[in-house]
Chains A and B, each alone.
Chain A
């Protein structure tokens, strides 16, 4: 080999990984009783692409598996074999093996050869067992031994589709390409090639496949946009009004969705409509709005289940109406309602890139995270510099320096735009996290003998990459908990008058300056009384008068997770303290809403980015400190009679019936200031980890967004300080670590009493803290 292929390995690994993830997503979303041809094709193409790539790079083990997989998939997508749950399981197993092999090549991890062989055998067996007489191979085999699920009563797509005859006019391509195409299309049905007067080739194809199939096959060789496909004999019953000239692939999709409408979806994931990818995710979401009547609201899932028949009728008429004016959003809406509970759809990018690799490459580039981070840092500095210039400019005479001031105004706007754009580079859709859950829920539900429908809402919501990575673990934990403890086993659900299939919804949405991620199940809900009893026996301070949210928050208490709680109908609690801690460390908050018997929602709110913080700057002597705004409850200037002491020392402030300890920042930081009397300064009430304290500072300076800089880059961690930032005048301000301050304030070494008026007194104590 003359070219060093290894330089391309990384690209292949990335792509293969994406393809595998995509295939898995499609497999999980597939409707076994009535598989969508498009989805089958997409899975087939994924396998095919991996096979091609693996063969090119000489990863023969991956080629072998994908080859067997491809054979089986091919039979299924040509309807020579009915898709069964067994197949899906086998495919998923194959996907896992491929992933393992991929990792083996990439990260040199172990590959379990036995597992590989098992999967290969399984695929081969399935492939042979299910084979019905196929035109090419003529293998005679008994009809599929795997019986269809009993509750399945769908119409097979092929029956509804009937046989059609298409005329496909090729753009300018070589004869060899036409030959190749002819061969490929031959797999679908009978093909004849003729040449038009203008030199274009015309392929006549008689097939039971849809236009979309043809387009996707042709797209391997020609640009689908250049294709002119027309329907010769109008034999598709449902598409009688199909425009004669150029069949809009979208319309074709619509027909498909109609015929593919089903009454039951086990796991609803997105249906692959890669054709609409170019419309962008934003637009699709808008599409939802237009067709609100068809869209089941997540809360209305239950009623949607009952009223399924009506929805189906609605959606069918929707197809008819939609046909003449087919817009990108319409088939979406139709399919959405047809699938009844499908709440969220994101298009797979895969198919798009399969079809037109050139355009896909042009639309995105892979860049190392460090480069992006560097860019963000630089822009952060630019913003600071810009603020400095602005501050200096404000001191100039506005009349004399009008031009300069105008220019700086423009600079300010540009900088702000630049900052926004750069920050958006780091943003990633939540789908990155959500996409891993369907499989997990499926496997977990199977293991626990539960029936769980999984849905996601707002997967396109964007979040900082750093947060995305850190939210995975807590979210995994919460989803696991919901399936494990939240959703009941089918018998119990039936007894409770609920449908046997539980629903687990993951949602993400922007709310103000933060993102709210919710894990909702319609399970048993939290039992207030049990939690209270448990908390009481654990020695936690509880009372009957606590609000529900306070009671539910108790499950976040460390050590609350015990075996007894787990056996409870909804015994969340295992490691919930870790979840809470992780989220708090990201600057977020967790809240639980639950109703006994109806389900639980765990709501996580996170800041949009880790790089910028909403802060309140406070002054202490000459210095300025920044306090994260989300931890401030309120600020007040106390009256002398509200300040109380214990044994003449520990000072407290009496605020609305609560006695809160006063932490004097100047003595904690051993910092010279003139103001040592709380009534002369300001008390900032802080809350962290459920503990409240009043931080005593000189005065409030102002509220502003600050760019967080790490102290540890060049220095070390400082107790009570979580980072630093650069203020408008170029000086450095430290960002206070509220949780640590509260802890420092409560440590026995620190005396908040009159003694702390003299700084020397507790100097040595600081060291100990």
Chain B
């Protein structure tokens, strides 16, 4: 995804995107997701593979008695080097009671964003459908991609939610 000509689109639709965000890294890009969706952050454990699921669904883990699916966003979006070591981070999300883990390259910070810091997304062709991107925020020289993680994780393409049960 190119990062240069983004600021062209100045109109900020008063989206209520204001709030605190957890920022994480995928490849060279920085992303942010609403902090209230995050349940916890933990290391990467051995997962139990599930047959006949897309490659980015790593499998399920036992999270204190709950069976939680783990999705590797790096594989899903073809970003970064996919390797699993002691630094691999899993963000456990709680999306309306549904618990899902996402594997990312790293977690950096929690930041509060004001509405005027958030810009709309221009139409681009990316592996993330822009409808899952709430907006873009500029922090010093860095650009933060704010993801509507709930929409994304429950979307059809993530194959996490029942829709195509044979």
Contacts and interface: CB of A to CB of B under 8 A. Distances in A.
Interface of A: 377-378, 380-381, 384, 623, 668-671, 709-721, 724, 726, 730-734, 766-767, 769
B39 to A, nearest CB: 11
B53 A718 contact: yes
A718 B50 contact: yes
A721 B51 contact: yes
B52 A709 contact: no
Given A670-B51, A711-B67, A766-B52, 9 more contacts: A380-B65, A670-B52, A671-B51, A714-B67, A715-B60, A716-B159, A718-B51, A718-B52, A719-B165
Nearest to B161: A716
Nearest to B99: A714
Interface of B: 46-53, 59-62, 64-69, 98-100, 159-163, 165-166
B69 A731 contact: no
| Consensus secondary structure, chain B interface | loop
Contacts of B61: 732
Contacts of A732: 47-48, 59-62, 67
Contacts of A668: 51
A641 B68 CA distance: 44
B165 A731 contact: no
Contacts of B46: 731
A136 B64 CA distance: 71
Contacts of B64: 381
B164 to A, nearest CB: 8
B99 A734 contact: no
A669 B159 CA distance: 17
5 contacts: A670-B52, A709-B66, A713-B66, A719-B52, A732-B47
A724 B63 CA distance: 13
B166 A726 contact: no
Given A381-B65, A714-B67, A715-B60, A734 B160 contact: no
A384 B67 contact: no
Contact of B98 (A709, A714, A730): A714
Residue among B59, B65, B66, B160 facing the most chain A CB atoms (10 A cut-off) = B65
B99 A767 contact: no
Contacts of A714: 66-69, 98-100
A384 B163 CA distance: 31
A68 to B, nearest CB: 50
Contacts of A713: 66-67, 98-99
Contact of A734 (B48, B100, B161, B165): B48
Contact of A715 (B52, B160, B163): B160
A718 B49 CA distance: 12
A312 B49 CA distance: 69
Contact of A711 (B49, B60, B161): B60
A717 B162 contact: yes
Contact of A709 (B59, B67, B166): B67
Contacts of B161: 716
A716 B51 contact: no
B96 to A, nearest CB: 11
A377 B64 CA distance: 11
A712 B49 contact: no
B65 A384 contact: yes
A669 B52 contact: yes
A692 to B, nearest CB: 22
A584 B155 CA distance: 34
Q: Which 8 A-B pairs have the closest CB atoms?
A: A669-B51, A381-B65, A716-B162, A732-B48, A715-B69, A717-B165, A724-B67, A714-B99
Given A726-B65, A731-B46, A767 B160 contact: no
Nearest to A718: B50
Contacts of B48: 623, 724, 731-734
Contacts of A731: 46, 48, 62
B40 to A, nearest CB: 14
Contact of B49 (A377, A671, A710, A769): A671
A679 B66 CA distance: 37
Contacts of B100: 714
A732 B50 CA distance: 11
A730 B60 contact: no
Given A713-B66, A726-B65, A734 B50 contact: yes
Contacts of B51: 668-671, 718, 720-721, 766
Residue among A709, A713, A715, A733 facing the most chain B CB atoms (10 A cut-off) = A715
B162 to A, nearest CB: 4
Contacts of B166: 719, 769
Nearest to B68: A714
Contacts of A766: 51-52
Nearest to B61: A732
Contacts of A381: 64-65
A670 to B, nearest CB: 6
Contacts of A380: 65
Contacts of A718: 50-53
Contact of B162 (A671, A712, A720, A733): A712
Nearest to B65: A381
Nearest to A730: B62
B143 to A, nearest CB: 32
A583 to B, nearest CB: 23
Nearest to A711: B67
A381 B68 CA distance: 14
A275 B50 CA distance: 58
A715 B50 CA distance: 11
Contacts of B68: 714-715
A716 B160 contact: yes
Nearest to B94: A714
Contacts of B163: 716
Contacts of A767: 52
B93 to A, nearest CB: 10
Contact of B65 (A377, A711, A712, A734): A377
Nearest to B60: A732
Residue among B64, B67, B160 facing the most chain A CB atoms (10 A cut-off) = B67
